[in-house]
Structure 1
Amino acid sequence: MIARFGHTELPERQARVLRRAIHLEWITLAFLAVTATLVFLVLGNSQAMKAAWTEDLLSFIPPIAFLIAVRLARRRPTVRHPYGFHRSVAIGHLVAAVALTAMGLFLIVDSGIGLLTAEHPTIGTVNLFGVTIWLGWLMVAVMAVTGIPPVIVGRMKLGLARELHDKVLYADADMNKADWMTSVGTIVGVLGIGVGLWWMDAAAAIFIAGSIVHDGISNLRAAVVDLMDARATTFDDAHPHPLVDRVDQYLAGLPWVREAGSRVRDEGHVFHIEAFVVPRRRKVALADVDSARQGCVALDWKIQDVVVVPVPALPDIVDAITVDAVTPRGSTA
């Protein structure tokens, strides 16, 4: 039973969330296996169906990346890897993003060529239980049935991604949420062939490929930024992470600190923090520095490693918080 990231013991709530996320990803893989098989069986000559099938295959990457990253991240730091193996999350994020972007661009080019050369796809009939039916109806039925569960599972994953601060899980959830657009686009393309509007199939395929590229580029940007040690952000990269300000506020509120600021490295699930403090007096007791470090670690489970450095002046790269900006201890304000 996984209950840690590196040497960080997960609180019971986060441990439960992690177990649930792992179970959901295994369920996702099982569902994708069924979905990809069903779509392949009714593929036909529709470009939209081929694009949808490709997206189903690509959808395997984020869950697999998450499961591998979680397994690696639980390893304790070593001499060779003193920061632990948390970067496996960012690497998994990057691999998934590159695969999505590359395949999406390929599908856009492939479908665009089909549209420019005016390829007229045809959908034949199939004998099912002694009855001859148009294969397009089976395509529509498969896309309608398989397009609903991923949306539900994706919304469930969003809350788990927030709790675990897991960007791979968030990317997977975001893709699942958008699966309904793929299903609708594919259905429109197939029905377009049925009514003689051949170009609707290629247009639907380009729409699906565009959705894949959008997911890929947005995740690629986020993954690269994280690997470049940008300022820590929330799990969806929407805002600077509030934990950074909490650390600075805590340190600036200590009796012996005049000013505080920190730089925070997002390692995946956890943060590594270099906190700079300007002391009120020339000599600082080692016990005070160690107590400040332990106090920072106690603020949140995501704070794994903290280095508190007394300095005469804060570096220019950090946002300073002075004692005047912090409510004094014991105040009722």
Structure 2
Amino acid sequence: MEQPGQPASFPHEHLETEKHAATRVTIIGMVLDAVLGVIKVAAGAVFHSQALLVDGIHSFTDVASDWVVLAVMRLSRKAPDADHPYGHQRIETLGTLLLGSLLIAVGAALAWENLLRVLAGTELPAPGWPVLVAAAISVLGKEWIFRYTRRVGKRIRSDLLIANAWHSRTDAFSSVVVLLSTVGAMLGLTWLDGIAAVFIAGIIIHIGWKFSWDSVKELIDTGLSEEEVLALRRIAMETDGVRNVHELRSRRMGQDILLDVHLVVRPEISVSEGHQIGMRVVDGMRQVLDNILDINFHIDAENDEKAQHTTEPSLPSREDLQHLLAEALGELPAQSRIRLHYLKNRIHLEILLDVNHPGSELTTERVRGLLADYTWFGSVRVWVAAP
């Protein structure tokens, strides 16, 4: 007996709202990044701060990432269609991977250039005080856009938007490094400026690697953590009617979770009761993890992980059995019903007869004798309804 679970409804009505919110915060961040990038690159070049110059380039990478976010959010928030029944959230994952790769490339180039300058011992003039002003403006502006973007990202459950927010936070942190290194350079430790530039480039590489690796894990369908899987299994096992749980599989799509689970129930229950047990498991799991998008459950009468697969001869179908019984016993009464239980590669029959069924030859012993020589036969019971 098997029964697929009911998939969650996609929040189509929220897609346009989410897309609008993401577009708004991203455009605001992009304008801020562009302005800060111009200020820092100009101040770094004019007032002799390599660290601020690298920090300005970091801001321009934010502008590029904002363009990626705008394009990807527009595509990933499209409603599911016939070709993409689970939606388009994986486009967001791909966008996050591209963003991370961009950060790694930019960070590596900046780190290499400034590391060579530090190792060569190139003497640079001390930075001017406007570098401090530019760095302070950057810290305040990037911290504000970080908090704003992260809040919107959490509200619409967008990994890409949250990743972009943390990119802004690294820009704010790198500007703090510029402040400290500039103060040191102005006090005579001019080499601090080059070290700070390498350090900031390392920050860019680190955050890019994190985005890229997390995206790769999602694209190859990495499952939930062991703790989360155990919590979901415990919920299923504590549900009345569930005897065992196996093949609990999970994968992520953006911040959404997709689950497949096999539930072992008593073999004698009806299909509808098995489905009802499965729906109670679904409700319980959704209370543990509220970002589960879809749960597909399979109802088993036995643990088919351990049971042998049917070989030869193959188990007969309902139609085959009815034909076999009809040939030996004649047509069954119109009011009769047959229940079949396929367990451990055998068939167990229940024949339910109306109290006024014609003929007395249809007994448990008669049917058992008829089927006893078949290797697939397990047991039979003939029930007669009480008057």
TM-score of the aligned structures, taking structure 2 as reference length? 0.65
Q: Report how far residue 247 of structure 1 moved.
A: 5.0
In the superposition, the TM-score normalised over structure 1's length comes to 0.74
Contact 1:62 1:168 in 2 (8 A): no
Residue matched to 1:31? 32
The Cα shift of 1:18 comes to 6.8
1:118 is matched with which residue?
Answer: 121
Deviation at 1:94, TM superposition (A): 0.7
CA contact (8 A) 2:222 2:251 kept: yes
Question: What's 2:161 paired with?
Answer: 169
Aligned-partner residue type, residue 263 of structure 1:
R
1:98 equivalent to 2:101? Answer: yes
Displacement after TM superposition at 1:221 (Å): 2.0
Partner residue in 2 for 1:320: none
Q: 218, 223, 232: which is aligned to 2:215?
A: 223
Tell me the secondary structure at the aligned position of residue 310 of structure 1: strand
Shift of 1:83: 3.1
**Alignment-derived partner of residue 360 in structure 2:** none
What is the identity, as a one-letter code, of the residue corresponding to 1:313?
Answer: N
How far is the alpha carbon of 1:111 from its aligned partner? 0.6
1:315 CA displacement? 5.8
% identical equivalent positions: 21
1:57 matched to 2:60? The reply is: yes
The residue aligned with 1:306 is 295
Does structure 2 conserve the Cα–Cα contact (< 8 Å) formed by 1:25 and 1:63? yes
Counterparts of 1:47 and 1:204 in 2: how far apart (Å)? 9
1:265 lines up with 2:266 in the alignment: no
Q: 1:265 to 1:112 in 2, by over 3 A?
A: same
**CA offset at residue 203 of structure 1?**
0.6
2:12–2:79 contact (8 Å) kept in structure 1: no
Deviation at 1:152, TM superposition (A): 2.9
In the alignment, residue 305 of structure 1 is paired with which amino acid? D
Distance in 2, Cα, partners of 1:276 & 1:34: 55
Displacement of 1:113 after TM fit?
0.3
Mapped to 2, the partners of 1:165 and 1:297 lie a distance apart of 21
**Residues 37 and 287 (structure 1), Cα distance of their counterparts in 2 relative to 1, 3 Å cut:** farther
Structure-1 separation of matches of 2:251 and 2:131: 47
Counterpart in the other structure of 1:77: 80
Match of 2:292, as an amino acid? I
Distance 2:151 2:268 in 1: 47
Q: Which digits, 9 at most, give the CA deviation of each residue in 1:131-171, with x for residues without a partner?
A: xxxx7222221111121122133234444444444322222
Distance 1:208 1:259, change over 3 A: same
Conserved 8 A contact 1:58-1:100:
yes
For residues 314 and 57 of structure 1, do their structure 2 counterparts lie closer, same or farther at Cα, with a shift above 3 Å needed? farther
SS at match of 2:116: helix
Give the 3-state SS of the residue equivalent to 2:249 in structure 1: strand
Q: Which residue of 1 aligns with 2:263?
A: 277
- Work out the CA distance in 1 between the residues paired with 2:268 and 2:86: 31
Q: How big is each residue's C-alpha offset from its partner over 1:78-110, in whole Å with a ceiling of 9 and x where there is no partner?
A: 343343211012111111111111211211111
Classify the secondary structure of the residue corresponding to 1:304.
Answer: strand
Q: Partners in 2 of 1:68 and 1:249 — Cα distance?
A: 41
2:197 paired residue number: 205
Aligned equivalents of 2:222 and 2:270: distance in 1?
A: 31
Do the aligned partners of 2:55 and 2:171 also contact (CA within 8 Å) in 1? no
User: C-alpha distance in 2, partners of 1:195/1:297?
Assistant: 64
Deviates most, 83-92 or 57-66: 57-66
State the 1:283 CA deviation: 5.9
Give the whole-Å Cα distance in 2 for the aligned partners of 1:64 and 1:286. Answer: 50
CA distance in 1, matches of 2:270, 2:233: 18
Q: Is the CA contact 1:189–1:201 (under 8 Å) kept in the aligned structure 2?
A: yes
Q: Distance in 2 between matches of 1:279 and 1:66?
A: 46
In the TM superposition, residue 71 of structure 1 has moved relative to its aligned partner by 2.0
Letter in 2 for 1:51: V
Q: Give the paired residue count.
A: 292
Contact 2:170–2:204 at 8 Å: present in 1 too? no
| Contact 2:146 2:168 survives alignment (8 Å) | yes
Residue ranges of structure 2 left out of the alignment (5+ in a row): 1-7, 307-387
The separation in 2 between residues aligned to 1:220 and 1:104, in whole angstroms, is: 14
Separation (CA, whole Å) in 1 of partners of 2:78 and 2:67: 18
Distance 1:18 1:315, change over 3 A: farther
